[in-house]
Amino acid sequence: MSGEERCDHDTPRPLHDELWRVYFRFIGRRASPKNSLKVLAGPYHETIEVNNKKKSRSWVIVDLKKPKGPIHDKEKAKAIRLRDALNAVGRQPRFRECYVKARFRVLRKATPPAHLL
């Protein structure tokens, strides 16, 4: 089972850098064991336009281990902490004029109809 972490944000360099700092607290060799998430795919990035303003959208797919149970719950809690930490960046006084919205959702494998397999 996996989860998608997605973050939409304005693109000023200081905001962009701060969001990456938060990301690296959870992903990669600098992440503490308490927060470390395993990436299955990404991170990916695209630039979108909303109300004639350019915004960035980034996402990453993380491993939530087994479909349920204590290991899954622990990994899901880490992903939720990452989402909350990214959103907290947007609430900092220096970024109040910027837009940051991080989301997390659990992804499940698609199940094609058996008669088509």
Whole-prediction pTM:
0.85
Mean per-residue pLDDT over the chain, rounded = 89
Please check whether the domain covering 2-109 is classified as CATH 2.40.110.10. no
The C-alpha atoms of residue 85 and residue 71 are separated, in whole angstroms, by 21
Tens digits of residue pLDDT in 51-73: 888 888 899 999 998 777 888 89
Output the pLDDT for position 61: 94
